[in-house]
Amino acid sequence: MKVIETIDAFRDARRRAAEPLGLVPTMGYLHEGHLALVRHARAENASVVVSIFVNPTQFAPTEDLATYPRDMEGDLEKLEREGVDLVFAPDRDEVYPMGFDTHVDVGEIANRLEGQHRPGHFRGVATVVCKLLTIVRPDRAYFGQKDAQQCMVIRKLNADLNLGAEIEVVPTVRDPDGLALSSRNAYLKPEERAASLTLSRSLCLARKMYDGGVRDADDIRSQMRNLIESEPGARPDYVSIADARTLDELDAVDRPALVSLAVHVGSVRLIDNALLP
């Protein structure tokens, strides 16, 4: 496994890499969710590239960029064990050199949900993913369903700018008790870890109501909110039931829907989602 920090050196190595090539973009502090993406990429491609870059432009000034967990040594050990060929780990100045001033804004789909609650977030994500897809030129790029809206934004970016990758979405990996794996789970204190189960529980409640025949989206949203608010350590940021294609909020769950939510647990903000039916 080769670890490369500059774009020039990466392009050199890319020319010699076997095809097809799969890319897994990450911000590091790798867990089994990330490794599921790597395993899909390994199974489907002749070469696998993992990028590790904590992208500053997708964090608002009030967010956790400075404290975002990092463990490059541990990450490289995990990737070596998975048989990854190349790790692209540029520093901030390599990706955003002095004078950098071009940004990618994906339209409507990026203005909803996370885009509405974290202004500028998807501009940062789209810009860095556009750069990664341009530098790496993968045949396939792998993303997690855990960040469902991010997957939609990236599909749109890839299609609209003809970036030419196949975008593959991998199911969410969870702890046995239901909590979706996230690098940010490392921040949770023991009592917050328990409170964080309210996310997956409220998604289970939505599915149970849907399976029981409920189609009134407001009814499902309000029951989910009640469940979250009954947990003293948890405060919902949003609870959404939206058209899975457009992310327009639904009145009736009469078409494929994305149920998604963001919840503050202590100082940590967690997201999760599920598809209905």
Report the nearest approach of ligand AMP to the CB of residue 84 (Å).
14
Residue 188 is classified by DSSP as: -
Among 33, 90, 124, 236, binds ligand AMP (CB under 6 A): 33
How far is residue 121's CA from residue 117's CA, in Å, rounded to a whole number? Answer: 9
Contact between 172 and ligand AMP by CB under 6 A: the answer reads: yes
- Give the CA radius of gyration of the chain: 19
Q: Which residue has the tokens 């998975």?
A: 82
Q: Give residues 92-131 in contact with ligand AMP (rule: CB under 6 A).
A: none
Cα 33 from chain centroid (whole Å):
10
Contact between 258 and ligand AMP by CB under 6 A: the answer reads: no
Contact between 147 and ligand AMP by CB under 6 A: the answer reads: yes
Cβ proximity to ligand AMP, 34 vs 193, nearer residue:
34
Contact between 141 and ligand AMP by CB under 6 A: the answer reads: no
Structure tokens at 117: 């609650």
Among 130, 180, 203, 274, binds ligand AMP (CB under 6 A): 180
Among 157, 170, 179, 250, binds ligand AMP (CB under 6 A): 170
One character per residue 35-74, x = contact with ligand AMP (rule: CB under 6 A): -xx-------------------------------------
Among 4, 17, 23, 27, binds ligand AMP (CB under 6 A): 27
Integer angstrom CA distances of residue 96 from 59, 67, 68: 14, 20, 19
Structure tokens at 13: 């190595």
- For 118-183, give the DSSP string: STTHHHHHHHHHHHHHHHH--SEEEEEGGGHHHHHHHHHHHHHTT--PEEEEEPPPB-TTSPBP-G
How far is residue 39's CA from residue 47's CA, in Å, rounded to a whole number? Answer: 12
Report the nearest approach of ligand AMP to the CB of residue 12 (Å).
25
Structure tokens at 253: 């769950």
Among 76, 110, 136, 173, binds ligand AMP (CB under 6 A): 173
Contact between 236 and ligand AMP by CB under 6 A: the answer reads: no
Report the nearest approach of ligand AMP to the CB of residue 54 (Å).
8
Contact residues for ligand AMP, defined by CB under 6 A:
26-27, 33-34, 36-37, 143-144, 146-147, 170, 172-173, 180-183
